Amino acid sequence: MRSEDVPLLFQELARAFADVTGMSVAATGSLARGDHRTGPGGDIVSNLDLVHVVADGADVAQVRAVVARIMRRISDGFRIETTSVLAVLPVFRLAGHAHYRMSMRPEWFCDGLGLGQAAFDRPGGDGRDGGDPRTALAWALQPVPYYLAKATVLDPPTNLAKARNHATRLADRFDLEELRDGLDNLPRALRAVIAGRGVTPLDSTARYLDTPTHPAIAQVVRDAVFVEGMGLSSADSMVTMLPSVPN
């Protein structure tokens, strides 16, 4: 799939989900933001990332089956890997600062739950966190320990680079000298930010910093991140589709 096919992809997604009920569906990630990566030949190498919001946990099994059928067709038709995540509505509403929420495409492919455009509003003005910048910072820190934990089991150079890149952007966004000067020891830098800025860390961050070398820390942090943002474990939330191998 190439960059010029992206509009066609989103048109097909809108058609595929037009009559789906029991969920609201939107895109997030690099394709939604328009900053996806391409390979040397011009083919897109980024995944398609979708968010499927369900009313409550009782709907998860049925929605996963529907999503898998639709995304099999999309992944094969456009030759693109798709990562779909399911989020339970009450947690989705509270996780307005979550990384995936901040990069959601501001439109719905389907809005079976009737969430409307207000679901894309940035938090801070609705009284849920009082607009406290420390809350935004706690959520903004989340990807750093996530990638650090992931690096303990998968592709350390790539995931460590992602952690440092995210930390660098955070340092600029929040003017955090602790991160800017601590890229070579991010766990220590994270602790300095939390202590110095009066931040209450998310559970995923706290779990990583408590035992960063624990052999199961990658899965522990991964599940905590999903529970914080989706209200489900990663196993219950994620539906991943790779394009089928041509015959």
| DSSP summary character for residue 18 | T
Q: What is the pLDDT of residue 107?
A: 77
Model confidence over 139-176: pLDDT tens digits?
Answer: 999 999 999 999 999 999 999 999 999 999 999 999 99
Q: What is the CA radius of gyration of the chain?
A: 18
**Per-residue pLDDT tens over the stretch 39-96:** 777 777 678 889 999 998 887 888 899 999 999 999 999 998 899 999 999 999 888 8
Q: Is the pLDDT of residue 106 over 80?
A: no
87 in any annotated domain: yes
Domain shared by 98 and 175, yes or no: no
Q: Smallest Cα–Cα separation from 83: which of 110, 117, 51?
A: 51
Question: Quick check: is 245 in a domain?
Answer: no
**pLDDT value at position 127?**
38
Same domain, 167 and 88: no
Span 183-196, average pLDDT: 96
Residue 125: the pLDDT is 41
All residues at 6 or more sequence positions from 62 whose CB lies less than 8 Å from its CB, including other chains: 22
Domain identity same for 173 and 84? no
What are the start-end ranges of the E strands in 72-156?
82-88, 110-111
Residue 185 is assigned to a structural domain of this protein = yes
State phi, psi for 2 to the nearest 5 degrees: -115, 165
Q: 93: domain CATH number?
A: 3.30.460
Q: How many domains does the chain have?
A: 2
pLDDT of 213 over the 70 cut: yes
Q: Are residues 91 and 141 in the same domain?
A: no
Residue 2 has what pLDDT? 75
Residue in 61, 137, 99 with CA at minimum distance from that of residue 225? 99
Are 137 and 114 within one domain?
Answer: no
The answer to whether residues 100 and 148 belong to one domain is: no
Does residue 114 carry a pLDDT above 60?
yes
Q: Distance between CA 178 and CA 141 in Å, rounded?
A: 13
Site of tokens 């219950």: 236
Residue 222's domain comprises 133-230
Give the residue from 88, 123, 158 where a domain finishes: 123
Residues 177 and 143 in one domain: yes
Q: Is residue 150 domain-shared with residue 206, that is, in the same domain?
A: yes
The pLDDT value given to residue 247:
58
pTM reported for the whole predicted model:
0.85
Residue 59 forms part of a structural domain? yes
